[in-house]
Chains A and B, each alone.
Chain A
Amino acid sequence: MSVATANRLTPYLFLAPALVILLGALVYPIIYVIYASFLDWNPSQRIGEASFVGLRNYAKLLSDAAFLESLRVTLAFAAIVVSVEMVLGVGLALLLDRNMKGLTVLRTVFILPMMIAPIVVGLMWRYMYHPTIGIFNRTLNSLGLEPVPWLSDSSWAFAAVIIADVWQWTPFIFILSLAALQSLPKSALEAARIDGARGWQAILYIKLPLMLPVLIVTMLLRLIDAFKVLEVILVMTNGGPGLSTEILSLRINRTASEFRALGEAAAMSNILLLVLMALTLAMFLYTKASEARSRRLAAAQEPAT
């Protein structure tokens, strides 16, 4: 082999291992899950032995009360945690956006809840929610109040998983919106101040509109992640009591491992994937559109300057 051919082949050699792994262990499984959703398949069968049932799995899901309930729980969970976290995270960022010692400490410490294993986060909260030895009921007890059935009552359990998620993920929104705030053009804020915009006015009319692109992307990212939450809830409630906290990921896991209905689990996976695909596409199109707009603006300003 001549040196020239070797050089021409180099990029392919460098790419080959990554390509092989991505195709074999990522693209292939995703195609496989689409195919599997049309099968009546249980874990002891090879996929070739499973019988083809067409859309039956999907039809069954749409009339399955437990699945619909789990879909509702997932949507409610995602909607509530994302809105609460957005309000808290952006609010805190606006409040703390100043030159302050200790802000770096806060930023570092705030990453901790997101870094440690979700399993461990679930463990900590399950311990804190413990009916007798947990810190919440102990505090209520010492104040002379009634203990709360945190994880054993369905509406309390739903609230409890939301609180844990808010604790874990509000920092994400806080850090992103603080970064956005601190990179706002100083000139705009200065101009607003000279024009007499005070406090609320500056926030409402200047800061928030300027932050909006970052805020929207942050919200979509968080929304995507909210649909992926699994371990924290698995450890805290395992979906119970009843179906009150059984989000879609948990339902997929249970359908596959407990009910041994792989075809149905695959169909659920595809429905979840579709929801997430729509969100991701929305995010991608939004970033593309805002990039194009800022390019147009820059181009429009060029001849003027």
Chain B
Amino acid sequence: MTQTEKQSPAFYALLVALVIMAVGPILLMLATSLKLNVDIMSDVGGLIFMPTLRNYETALCDLLWYEPAGLASCDPTFGRALVNSLVICLVSTALTLVIGCMAAYALVRFRFMGRDTVSLSTLLMRMVPPAVLLVPVFGIWTFQFGISGTRTGIILIYVAMNLPFVIWILQSFIVQVPVQLEEAARMDGAGPFQVFFLVVLPLVKPGLAAAAIFTFRIGWNEFLLANALSDRNTRTVPVTIVNSLTEYNIDWGVIMATGMLLAVPPILFTFVASRQIITGMTAGAVKG
């Protein structure tokens, strides 16, 4: 049964058609991002064009180590947003993992709340749309915490949004760490923090990787809260993309290049860790 059976060509045709449907729009975006506006607007369209990196140079002009030739002026908006996005996502992912892992460890090893409580709160968190958080987070961050317009503010809400899920997914990994190992370490004189950082953490690396991918991706893709909490200097990439869309005349080549840059990390994650992603996505539907 494990051997692949011979299938009729019709099934392969269907398979190929589905793959093309799934990837087609992404390839179209890639192609457009490599075209000059003349080619995008030309009546012929299609696949015959001179690929150029011009749009990427325009978008990234202030991050490049060389001066792009023939660029009249350099708009640093996108480059700045890319740096913001990277900083915000990396910091919030690191914080979420450390804090979430510690909490998950406490919940598993010292058992004061059942797994049910955690799964229920994960489920409840999954339910809350970012749009619902928009008004209160804007109000609290601006008037009470005084951190609106800063990267700290955006990082804080991303950490909070991702914690329940991260705790939930890490719990299932920590349960599998043998207690004997920790006891042995404690015998050798390790304190609780040493046990955690030197014994437990290295053993749950796969879980950490899955959690990291999810946390990073949510921050990387999020628009609504970042839009409400950022100012001119702290805008993330999704916010700049939406802002450049509202302009009257859309520069499709450049905007597709920025879209492509935004899409690259998630696409890489997909090919590196598709199995973990599927596990994470099915969380809740299939018992984890």
Contacts and interface: CB of A to CB of B under 8 A. Distances in A.
Interface of A: 6-7, 10-12, 14-15, 17-19, 21-22, 24-26, 28-30, 32-33, 36, 41, 43, 46-47, 92, 95-96, 98-103, 105-120, 123-128, 133, 135, 138, 167, 171-172, 175-176, 179-180, 214, 217-218, 221, 224, 227-228, 230-231, 234-235, 248-249, 252-253, 256-257, 262, 265-266, 269-270, 272-273, 276-277, 279-280, 283-284
A109 B23 contact: yes
B71 interface: no
- Majority-rule SS of A interface residues: helix
Contacts of A273: 128, 132
B285 A217 contact: yes
B263 interface: yes
Nearest to B255: A123
A179 B286 contact: yes
Interface in B173-210: 191-192, 196
Interface string B253-279: 001100100110011011100100110
Nearest to B269: A115
A26 B161 contact: yes
Q: Which 8 A-B pairs have the closest CB atoms?
A: A25-B160, A18-B103, A29-B136, A117-B221, A14-B106, A11-B110, A249-B131, A32-B136
A124 B106 contact: no
B250 to A, nearest CB: 9
Contacts, number: 274
B65 interface: no
B87 to A, nearest CB: 17
A87 B127 CA distance: 24
Contact of B282 (A100, A176, A224): A176
Interface of B: 1-5, 7, 11-12, 14-15, 18-19, 21-23, 25-26, 28-29, 32, 40-41, 45, 99-100, 102-103, 105-107, 109-110, 112, 120, 123-140, 142-143, 156-157, 159-161, 163-164, 167, 191-192, 196, 217, 220-221, 223-224, 228, 238, 241-242, 245, 252, 255-256, 259, 262-263, 266-267, 269-271, 274, 277-278, 281-282, 284-286
A265 B28 CA distance: 37
A26 B129 contact: no
Nearest to B100: A18
Q: Which of A41, A120, A176 has the most CB of B within 10 A?
A: A120
Contacts of B139: 32, 36, 41, 47, 262
Given A96-B14, A123-B29, A111 B277 contact: yes
Contact of A11 (B32, B106, B134): B106
B77 to A, nearest CB: 15
Nearest to B15: A102
Contacts of B123: 280, 283-284
Given A36-B139, A167-B25, A273-B132, A235 B245 contact: yes
Nearest to A46: B143
Given A11-B106, A105-B19, A228-B129, 17 more contacts: A10-B106, A14-B106, A15-B106, A17-B99, A18-B163, A107-B278, A113-B22, A120-B241, A123-B241, A127-B252, A135-B45, A176-B286, A218-B285, A221-B285, A228-B131, A230-B223, A262-B138
